[in-house]
């Protein structure tokens, strides 16, 4: 659906109950697709939507990937096959994982195995591979680049790190719309029916908080994100503020737990996860990203210290 002049939101379904929003910006002189979903989403959702509104993929100018994650970059190859002239791009910091499925699986989805004994297993990784159709990028961005879509319409790539180091958003000053991806992740990631699917997967806490503070200073009238309902007017500031406050709340709960006893990452997730949100028990493990970010921050601030147990897994305790 068209959510602002020239900006279309495309719902892409995956994983049975999950969805991700991609966005199509159509100007008089150029056009931009923001994210490509999973490998099946171009054929299932994006290209059919283009057909319904009479947009020819052969006229697509840019494909901008907000960040390295399976449900945002997985459809890159089929979209490039359908629109080979489109310039495929992401932030320079996310390029290695966007271009290479195995690098993404190793760097993102396997990062907790050695130090914490947490992982997706071979079956889970095989499923991720099926959802990824990667291809080389045409160029990379740093944030701050502008794209003229019409004579009087220019949008800007905004660097919004925290979920990944190279996360990008797209700001349209004409309608004051921010296509935010996962720059702000609220208190959970929802399913297609808006029920909680999983914890928010922020990663780099200081950076993520700084991004929330930056967003709160921007002139945003419409927040168009990857998974959450559209936020308008005063609700934008509230959504971003709650995204920041949730991270700080998790941090306070982790400190309380450390005062009671030492713990591993798995123990923290199992002890606290279900009390922090209403997502299913089976997705509680996704809190590995956020809680590890919180624990790293607390350790760097000198509030926690780390050791290793007999399995060589990291254990946190109070200083």
pLDDT given at position 285 = 96
Residue 196's pLDDT band (boundaries 50, 70, 90)? very high
One domain for residues 142 and 230:
yes
Residue 308's pLDDT band (boundaries 50, 70, 90)? very high
Give Cα 175 to chain centroid, integer Å: 23
pLDDT given at position 199 = 98
Final residue belonging to a domain, choices 212, 242, 272: 242
The strand pair at 87-91 and 139-141 is best described as parallel
Give Cα 317 to chain centroid, integer Å: 30
One domain for residues 179 and 311:
no
Pick from 274, 279, 250, 206: which is nearest to 18 by CA?
279
Give per-residue pLDDT as tens, 123-138.
999 999 999 999 999 9
Give the percent of the chain with pLDDT over 90.
100
pLDDT given at position 172 = 98
Residue 183's pLDDT band (boundaries 50, 70, 90)? very high
Residue 181's pLDDT band (boundaries 50, 70, 90)? very high
Give per-residue pLDDT as tens, 286-303.
999 999 999 999 999 999
Burial class (CB in 10 A: 0-12, 13-18, 19+), 279: buried
Give the percent of the chain with pLDDT over 70.
100
Residue 217 CB neighbours (<10 A): 7
Structural domain range at position 300: 259-318
The CATH number covering residue 268 comes to 1.10.10
In a domain, 253, yes or no: no
The CATH number covering residue 236 comes to 3.60.15.10
State the chain's mean pLDDT as an integer: 98
Number of domains comprising the chain? 2
Q: What is the mean pLDDT of residues 189-195?
A: 98
In a domain, 105, yes or no: yes
Phi and psi torsions of 110, nearest 5° = -110, 5
DSSP state for residue 14 in the 8-state scheme: E
Q: Cβ contacts of residue 273 below 8 Å, gap of 6+? A: 199, 284, 287
Q: What is the mean pLDDT of residues 244-259?
A: 98
In a domain, 233, yes or no: yes
Collapsing DSSP states into helix, strand and coil, what is residue 218? coil
Give per-residue pLDDT as tens, 10-69.
999 999 999 999 999 999 999 999 999 999 999 999 999 999 999 999 999 999 999 999
Residues for the chain: how many in total?
A: 319
One domain for residues 161 and 293:
no
One domain for residues 21 and 149:
yes
Contact 243, 228 (CB under 8 A): no
pLDDT given at position 218 = 98
In a domain, 252, yes or no: no
């Amino acid at each position: 659906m068209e959510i602002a002049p020239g900006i279309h939101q495309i719902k892409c379904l995956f994983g049975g109950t999950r969805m991700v929003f991609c966005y199509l910006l159509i100007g008089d002189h150029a056009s931009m697709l923001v994210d490509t979903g999973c490998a099946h989403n171009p054929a299932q959702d994006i290209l059919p939507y283009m057909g319904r509104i009479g947009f020819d993929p052969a006229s697509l100018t840019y494909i901008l990937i907000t960040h390295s994650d399976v449900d945002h970059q997985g459809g890159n190859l089929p979209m490039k096959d359908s629109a080979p002239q489109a310039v495929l791009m992401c932030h320079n910091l996310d390029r290695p994982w966007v271009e290479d499925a195995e690098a993404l699986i190793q760097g993102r989805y396997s990062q907790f195995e050695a130090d914490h004994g947490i992982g997706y297993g071979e079956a889970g990784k095989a499923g991720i591979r099926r959802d990824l159709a990667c291809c080389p990028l045409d160029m990379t961005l740093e944030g701050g680049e502008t794209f003229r879509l019409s004579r009087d319409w220019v949008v800007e790539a905004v660097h919004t790190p925290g979920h990944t180091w190279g996360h990008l958003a797209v700001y349209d000053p004409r309608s004051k719309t921010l296509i935010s991806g996962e720059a702000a992740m609220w208190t959970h990631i929802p399913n297609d029916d808006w029920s909680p699917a999983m914890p928010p997967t922020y990663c780099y806490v200081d950076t993520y908080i700084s991004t929330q503070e930056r967003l709160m200073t921007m002139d945003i009238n419409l927040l168009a994100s990857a998974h959450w309902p559209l936020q308008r007017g005063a609700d934008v500031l509230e959504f971003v503020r709650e995204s920041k406050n949730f991270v700080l709340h998790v941090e306070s709960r982790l400190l309380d737990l450390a005062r009671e006893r030492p713990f591993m990452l798995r123990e923290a997730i199992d002890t606290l996860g279900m009390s922090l949100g209403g997502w299913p028990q089976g997705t509680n493990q996704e809190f590995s990203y956020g809680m590890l970010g919180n624990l790293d921050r607390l350790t760097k601030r000198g509030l926690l210290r780390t050791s290793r147990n007999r399995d060589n897994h990291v254990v946190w305790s109070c200083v």
